[in-house]
A and B are shown apart, each in its own frame.
Chain A
């Protein structure tokens, strides 16, 4: 029996087990939305902007480990998804985005709401398709989900001309996907794995650098086993937070531009770096010529292009991180080395660094310090919440002062650094994990980039908690201006910010405010009581607070700047354990 393309699309989504879709309707996708209207097996969430639809699908994917799906219309609907798609691409998040397109016979004619979205998204998708014939639709969708979710994951876009979604064809779901030109390497080379054991056993000062690949491949358990067994301290890239327990005694927290003193010192002092699911991004390496000068590098990653892209690698292992670590652990069992003995002085050294310069900030009785808010969020949620962030200082404080013990509890735009990501991602995460507490740690600048999604959260009764660290500035840029541009605050003073409490109320959400440190915990506790609508919390924080430590752009990662004012004796120091 022949059915139309819109029905084929829905049948395909059912086959893929899709329950949540995020989208925004429009002229050429009316058919699809009309069919989805009656579909009971999946729910379409209407966002208030297409960018937010893609971020929500992304947040859903990061929190659940499944593929996120978004459907939008042609032209502006499609172009609005570009930031969302590029965000997912940089962070290797599996998404399938369907965009409507003008009928095939009008393509290229500058028709109403026509945009060459396949051309536009070519460099920011893992792959994309323009379906020209309804007969190819099911096969294309099958391929798209396969490509998005396997190998190094990423977003795939499918452009659907109107006549394809209205045209009729038999629905045939291909049993297998066979793409001759796409064969990711899942298992690491045996010889390379044996070699890496040799290198690990010889190393006196090894460091594991774990990245987003650990989370994407579900390798946290294996990573923990490796670290504990071989007594290797672990530092995480921002994307890797949660991949290894932040409260573990071998954890050194995050490294890089705003990494901990001890993680950066350990990297620079190490004789072996084991990079696992990382890509040695510039925010992590600092000046590459000075990066880990005495270290050999083992690099485990599924994407061969990540290897030797930014830093030299002594031993590359291409493969899925979990498979490689499983094989590595099996190989280690054959060796009888006492791994701990050779490392004890190294681990002691790291402890000394931890004591020498822990993460710390100046506490103030009158003014709320932003770090204090994050610390308290950690306490009231007992470290169990899913934390989404925007981008800027809020993101870095959330990375530093909240300890992530589990994977998929830290959702943040790492590669692209997209302001406006956190709130819609929190919406997706809350829908993926309805029983979890989901926070968006935001800045007063970032939150305004997708603030319209309050409507989405209210109508879907999502109890997302938005904690705005409100410093009336675009804080991270202001920080750079203070440090490197003679305190000339060019266009970073937000001057007029809305009254976030009233704004929340106008949308039908709960608005709360804290202006003194005493009010922080009560406000957070109050927010946790709300179970059926979003809560927007306005924390009026010290505008002068800066993110420390900081490695200036172009410096080596042990050339860190610290908060020197804290040395003044009258200021009381608070140390985070």
Chain B
């Protein structure tokens, strides 16, 4: 089962390595991890996508909580939330396919952020399903490069339990 875990940490050096070391040392999975400063520059937020059965995920959240530099751990599994990921894709469609490609990008509300003689770079954000669907559709146009940020998540108003 996939879990999205949000981890509020002290913005100190070595914290990322404490977290990643915990995952590797105890054999937990990391599917993606993204980190950034919060409004308070002394605090960073990590969003970790991991998987495991209930017991493993319970251990993951407890073990994270045990690290001294970690302020708060939230497993979004129990919370109504929205998730987004940003992907940049460089595509080189044939001349005849360009219009069609741009149309697809537009349908997915992708933005062309760079274009040259050979390639377009498209920026797309969305949840897992949307991004997966987009990638599937544009594969035939020739993906040259592909980069994604990893998911971030935020709770909906009221932190209502599902």
Quick one: given A122-B18, A305-B59, are A181 and B25 in contact (CB under 8 Å)? no
Interface residues of B in 54-81 (CB under 8 A from A): 55, 58-59, 62-63, 65-66, 68-71
Q: Across the interface, which residues of A come within 8 angstroms of B55, CB to CB?
A: 308
User: Nearest-CB distance from B52 to chain A (Å)?
Assistant: 13
| Whole-angstrom CA separation of A180 from B12 in the bound complex | 14
- Across the interface, name the chain B residue whose C-beta is closest to A309: B59
Supposing A181-B68, A181-B69 touch, asked if A305 and B21 sit within 8 A by C-beta, the answer is: no
Q: Given the complex, which residues of A lie within 8 Å of B17, measured CB to CB?
A: 119, 122
- B85 CB–A CB distance under 8 Å: no
Task: Determine if B10 is an interface residue (Cβ-Cβ < 8 Å).
Answer: yes
Interface mask (A105-143 → B, CB under 8 Å = 1, otherwise 0): 000000000000011001100110010000000000000
Considering the chains assembled together, what is the distance between the CA atoms of A118 and B69 in angstroms?
15
* Residue B14, interface by CB 8 Å: yes
Residues of B within 8 A of A103 (CB): none
The one of A118, A123, A127, A130 in contact with B68, judged by C-beta atoms closer than 8 angstroms, is A127
The chain B residue sitting closest to A152, CB to CB, is B66
A147 to B66 alpha-carbon distance, docked (Å): 12
**B68 adjacent to A182 (CB under 8 Å):** yes
Q: Which residue of A lies closest to B18 (CB)?
A: A122
For residue A147, which residue of chain B has the nearest CB? Answer: B68
A85 → chain B closest CB, angstroms: 15
In the bound complex, do residue A123 and residue B25 qualify as a contact, i.e. CB atoms below 8 Å apart? Answer: yes
Q: Look across to chain A and name the residue whose beta carbon is closest to the beta carbon of B55.
A: A308
Residue in B closest to A304 when the chains form the complex, CB atoms: B62
Partner of B70, one of A122, A181, A307: A181
Nearest CB to that of B8 among chain A residues? A181
Chain B positions within 8 Å of A304 at CB level: 62, 65-66
Is A341's beta carbon under 8 Å from chain B?
no
Contacting pair B14 A305 (CB below 8 A): no
- Contact indicator A122/B21 (Cβ below 8 Å): yes
Mark B11-22 against chain A: 1 for CB-CB distance below 8 A, else 0. Answer: 000100110011
Specify which of B59, B63, B71 is in contact with A181 (CB 8 Å cutoff): B71
Give Cα A126–Cα B58 distance, bound, in whole angstroms: 20
Considering the chains assembled together, what is the distance between the CA atoms of A303 and B67 in angstroms?
12
Residues of A within 8 A of B14 (CB): 118-119, 122, 130
- Within the complex, the shortest CB–CB distance from A313 to chain B, in Å, comes to 11
Cβ–Cβ < 8 Å partners of A147 in chain B: 68
Q: Does A1 contact B (CB under 8 A)?
A: no
Task: Tell me if A305 and B68 are in contact (CB < 8 A).
Answer: no
- B69 CB to closest chain A CB, in angstroms? 6
Q: Which residues of B contact A127 (CB under 8 A)?
A: 68-69
Tell whether A179 is near chain B: CB-to-CB under 8 Å. Answer: yes
Q: Which residue of A lies closest to B66 (CB)?
A: A305
A180 touching B66 in the complex, CB below 8 Å, given contacts A119-B17, A122-B18, A123-B25: no
The smallest C-beta distance from A226 to any residue of chain B, in angstroms, reads 27
Chain A, residue nearest B13 (CB) = A130
Instruction: Give B14 Cβ to nearest chain A Cβ, in Å.
Output: 7
Which residues of A are found within 8 Å of B71, using beta-carbon distances? 180-181
Residues in A with CB closer than 8 Å to B65 are 304
Contacts of B25 in A (CB 8 A): 123
Asked if A179 and B68 sit within 8 Å, CB to CB, the answer is yes
Residues of B within 8 Å of A307, CB to CB, are 62
**B96 CB → nearest A CB, Å:** 54
Query: From residue 293 to 349 of chain A, which have CB atoms closer than 8 A to chain B?
Result: 303-305, 307-309
In the complex, which residues of chain A have a beta carbon less than 8 angstroms from the beta carbon of B9? 181
* Chain B hits for A180, CB < 8 A: 71
**Are A123 and B21 interface neighbours, CB within 8 A?**
yes
A181 to B9, CA, bound (A): 8
Contacts of B58 in A (CB 8 A): 308
**CB-based contact B66/A303 at 8 Å:** yes
Q: How close is B128's CB to chain A, nearest CB, in angstroms?
A: 29
In the assembled complex, the Cα of A489 lies from the Cα of B70 at a distance in Å of 48
Closest to B26 in A: A123
Please give, as numbers and ranges, the residues of chain B lying within 8 Å of A123 by CB-CB distance.
Answer: 21-22, 25
The digit string for A449-464, where 1 denotes a CB below 8 A from any CB of B, is 0000000000000000
Chain A residues contacting B59 (CB-CB under 8 Å) are 305, 308-309
CA of A119 to CA of B20, assembled, Å: 12
Q: Inside 8 A of A305's CB, which chain B residues have their CB?
A: 59, 62-63, 66
A-B contact pairs, 16 of them (CB 8 A): A118-B14, A119-B14, A123-B21, A123-B22, A127-B68, A127-B69, A130-B14, A179-B68, A181-B9, A181-B69, A182-B68, A303-B66, A304-B66, A305-B59, A305-B63, A307-B62
**Closest 9 A-B residue pairs measured CB to CB?**
A127-B68, A181-B71, A305-B62, A304-B62, A123-B25, A182-B68, A305-B63, A122-B21, A305-B66
